[in-house]
Amino acid sequence: MKQIVKLKVNGVEQEATVETRHTLLDVLRGEFKLFGAREGCGIGMCGACTVLLDGKPVSSCARCSSTASP
């Protein structure tokens, strides 16, 4: 199933249609071509995928993209 995700990335509003199973990391790297966050462990423990979501650090490899959209 696909869903529209709206995110403010680096101060710019962006929108993408993504599979609901995709992680926030998948969307940032695949749709928005932002390669700063990387997948390390894949379970949110190592911190390589950490991004700020509403000003708080979250593991983007463990967060569904649909929960990141307001």
Listed in sequence order, the DSSP H helices in 1-70 are 24-26, 65-68
Per-residue pLDDT of 18-47, as tens digits, reads 998 999 999 999 999 999 999 999 999 999
Residues 6 or more apart whose CB falls under 8 angstroms from that of 51 comprise 24, 28, 37, 57, 58, 60
pTM of this prediction?
0.88
Superfamily of domain 2-68: Beta-grasp domain (3.10.20.30)
CA–CA dist 42, 12 (Å, integer): 27
pLDDT at residue 14 greater than cutoff 80: yes
